[in-house]
Structure 1
Amino acid sequence: MEKLRQFLKTMTPDEQKHFAAKCGTTINYLRKRISDRSSNLGEKICIEIENQSCGEVRCEDLRPDVNWSVIRNG
């Protein structure tokens, strides 16, 4: 989640809102998940974050507990 936090820091608040919307969520939801280390983002949002960040924030950065190679190759 640290990569997502750093990625969002490079954006203005409006850019953050737009990015979150393109990922299918809100910036408040992303901030909550970043700050609450006991909760995880859903796989779908992880995939959208990777896509919308052009690979700067990878699914593996967000959810290292998921076997992404199986999902990617499935």
Structure 2
Amino acid sequence: MKTLIDYLNAIPVEARDSFAARCGTSFDYLRQVGYGNRACTERLAINLERESGRELVCELLCPDADWAFIRAAPPPGRRRGRARNRTT
């Protein structure tokens, strides 16, 4: 897995602001997170994973969150397992 700084440094200069905007922040803020001067929030970690095509992963960006629980949880309103046909 790439580190955030490695990933950011590989983005072409002309695409950096666009990438940061899609993540909901500025490129300067992303660099601060990458260097450890700012914390990576759960929301930012999710945005970074999505926008990097999973080259960056939440678990490494924001290790204090319980990502194992989140990844295993079904979306609200849905249950795990096979759907049952109910007849009334």
> Aligning the two structures, in what range does the TM-score lie when normalised by the shorter sequence?
0.7 to 0.9
Counting matched residue pairs gives: 72
Question: Structure 1 residue 26 and structure 2 residue 26: aligned?
Answer: yes
Q: Which has the larger radius of gyration?
A: 2
Give the whole-Å Cα distance in 2 for the aligned partners of 1:8 and 1:38: 15
SS at match of 2:56: coil
- The alignment's TM-score, normalised by the length of structure 2, stands at 0.72
Structure with the bigger percentage of helix:
1
- CA RMSD across the alignment: 1.6
Higher RCO by CA contacts (8 Å cutoff, separation 6 or greater) = 1
% same residue: 33
Consecutive unaligned residues in structure 2, runs of 5 or more? 74-88
TM-score between the two structures when normalised by the length of structure 1: 0.83
Q: Which residue number corresponds to residue 16 of structure 1?
A: 16
Residue equivalent to 2:80: none
Structure 1 runs of 4+ with >6 Å offset: none
